[in-house]
Structure 1
């Protein structure tokens, strides 16, 4: 019996008998619970917490009468430890027939401590869920919501009965219901987890939410529940959308940028291939934009770009994409084009856009040049279409700007020819086949040989001497033009040094300089260094430029180069005068010492009164500005006589001599000085026959 009592005591169960005398504990139980084996009832009750004494006393009374009962109490044993006990009492009669009671106590202290820990853990989990921004929910195998938190209901504004099942869809943005139900249906069919973004109504406004759910399966792999959560990601989505917008739009004009335009073009072409539609692409440049920046500041330039962007949006329908590619370059994508005539009509509407800016009492009108290409006639992929539109834009600008040009196959041929020219020029520089030729410059008043103009020639692979007209595109390529210029300059200075060493008097040599060379930051410094290396004095050369050097980007660098040449007392001549833009303004602001009248006017000076009037006016203008005047392209004696009568200072052309290589120059100079007949300018010297006639190759100013 003691072993049984010991086992029960170790399991937290005690049994004692109770009678009117008190409680009788078996020794094992008393030892386990720290009690005495017997003690009066009132003394035992003293260890029971006061709030439990009355129910325990009633329980004991019930045990001593016929009946019994149960109660829970907290007991303090003789060692002062508190124990939570469940007490059960029942009545019985002993062998003598006396009424006694049995009382069984079960120690609940450990169990209740574990229950307390579980309760606290559950409370912690509940609070974590409640305060987490993610709102959990549970759905049945068919995706119907069966449980969610009260906070979800509060946010959605729905009652529990309304939200259960599929009722929560009432809070979904109408545009998102279709994609959302499709994605959920896919997960229900495949059992794959789903992760979607959806706009849900929260506090009377739609907010972006992220909903994720994962399946729970039974032992057979069947889905028995879906556990998911919904998380508010509205602010993150707005930030993402702003970042995406910034990545796809121009911050100044708010138009799509190059990346977005290219993406739209790719999609439009893919759709057009499927639907057999036409697509049009416009590339635009704002004429005179750089002048606005230079004269009125970058703020004015920004205002021009924003105004022009707004005007473009007004011209085109909403389905067209108007984009700013960068700088003053814009692009327009037009879908569902009917024919090329429609594109031409749209381009002409763009050409009507005029923006006039005022500064320092002067106005500046800005127009656009437009290149147009269409799918599928002009290209079937985006890169090809854009390249062809760019070729059309290049042609529009070369024809005088402020106009529209549709792409034509001949433009591609021209581009290929320009590339071939650049390659030929690069090869000529590499192989050392650039050659300097020289054409005499004569005083019309005295007949003296006053100098030469250095003209570029090059030898092809067959040994034939070619004119610069066959590589003229190379002078628009900055790198190749710069290489040609350095080669020509070194050759000319070397020839001049050799002639000087022979004691020849040659006056000055004019060297043509391209706009690409002048746009190099160190052009002037490098030229001066080369002059010093060959001991060339500043008044022994003359730098010839055209008005085209002031057009386009880099004109500020051009002006700095010219000012540096002027500070070094190197004379400057303005070539092809009268054929460019803003000539009078350039004459007024540039340190020009020589004015060269273009051959297009000189050729008609004796045949057309209009040309004679222009030439006379240009000579008068040059004299008024204290400049020397040179007539180019003189081919007949009558022309030279007429120019002399008009007061022109100098002339050059086939009448006086064709361009010749450097090795012929010493003989030419000796022949000229020995022949006095040239002084009259009425005939050519017999010793120097004219080998060219009207209509043959005419050396222009296409030199480095």
Structure 2
């Protein structure tokens, strides 16, 4: 740059020195001055020095040549200098021309670079505009507001669109941080201001603050404010920019999700069932409080362990099979298993499975919800024992004996080739009860049951059928074996039984039937066993009779009873009597059971226990049921015409009714005038009646319930009573059999069982009616255990219609009649 400046000064100097006119004038003047001086001075010098004319002439000649040489030399110097200047100028011009060409090329290259930069700038401007548009769209889509703050000038600006969303006008836009603070909720402003100060002072790496902004309508929005800072050369904050994000909806959603999660957690933890969350490999991720309480473990003792660590090995495969079926989309039933508690006790748990899926529908977890059915299983075991075993003697009862014999006859492997059934009846047992009391009779029956069991042992099964009746079934027995067993039993009974210092000699009558000689099915074998026992009784007791075909003739009583029933239906010899079901607290009559009675002319009262089984076997139950339903309907209507409020009337159904569909819609429609109100008719069934043909029975019951008829399960506890099965029955009322109530006041086990049945029925939403209530103490026990409804002689015997009418007019019965006495 300095060289260029020097050259420039040089060329300016040359320019100033080179002036043709001035230079020409200067040369002429020099020439004239030198010539004039030379002429004047040379002549005077010559005149002074030389006087001789020739010498003076020669001197003038040399003076002339000297002048020419000197002036020539001077002109040479002048011309040389001018030409030198010219040469320098030409060379400079040439050099400058060359530089000018180079500069031209540089100028072209510079112009090209400028055009390229201009294009890049133009593209950058367009990209900037696109990015700005994208930013605007992104901001609009995100519903975020952009803010900027010139800290030095305290100029605060917020994007117009965002502030308009808050309901403000453009003139309401805040122009300073202070004005922005005024829009912040009073409870949040100080914190927001302090967070900004901490950030500007460098105590925080990034600015982020959450606070509420007041909208024009007075409502508040919660925003998340973020920002960055630009500092000047001194490190002081100069400018900030950032965004405002409206997170009001997100906070509400988060709060809602948190509340739902808390509610879900509370439901799970407070749930009275066990809930386990497992990973797909059956690792326990979470166990609720009920599960921990049931098992006795702490949370850290179970979470992280395999679920199978707490389950007996025999249940692993069924559990895994259910899980695999669930994963493949199959429907999985609830599965029962045992689990170990911390103190190594076993609980029976009924598990239900469900799966957790991720967004790709992949299984990410298993939810097991389990109900502790240990108590139910124990109760079922007790009920099974009660249903299949005699309470007094501990021997199997008639139901178990029937099932066992049926199983022997139908087993596929090792089919039975021969068998014997023996009916054993105590002679004159009635006198023992009458003379010595029932407690002595009970003890005698226990003793006899023990002796029978000891003599049978593993040869077969011994059972108490009821009262003083026992039975023995011997597998693979012939007549010789039967006789041997009976001889051993009779020999034992030769020794008197001593009780309360009294000696009793027990005599028995026995009837024997042989399979397959005397029958090939359970019904015929038992019926002929009864005939053989009856024969032994008729022949003087204390003897054994083997069945023979002549005994069939004595079955004329059965035929005779069938004829009598047929005649009774034709001659309308039956009558309907009623027994109330009452609220044991108030005495109010809630329902009344319609009971058939038969007073046969010239014969007397015949118990339903005698003729109902015959009617069921001979196909007369349809006619009897039709008549009872019609008569009860007629009587109800008659009472209502007298202005008497009639409660629900309950009528008994047998297995035949349900299995053969006797109670049809047409039959109900026939008496719809009497049963027009829903709930005015209740039908009582036994569980045995349902099991007789379960599919048909359940279908019938569901159809009846649709017609507004309520269903009661009668005599619960006398047959096989499954608590689990009870859940599936479409029933409204559970009537607990009177046999349950006989010993509840003396036997703690019976009390516990009775209370368990009542509580379970209530848990299932069923009404409970206690049958056979006969004493004040029983009433007090039932009420103390939340059983409110009762039926029995304590309140009222079975009444004919006219006496029942009197009771209905009263509307209630006297509950504490013993206390009044």
Structure of higher RCO (CA pairs closer than 8 Å, 6+ residues apart): 1
- Structure ranking higher in strand proportion: 1
- Structure ranking higher in helix proportion: 2
The structure with more radius of gyration:
2
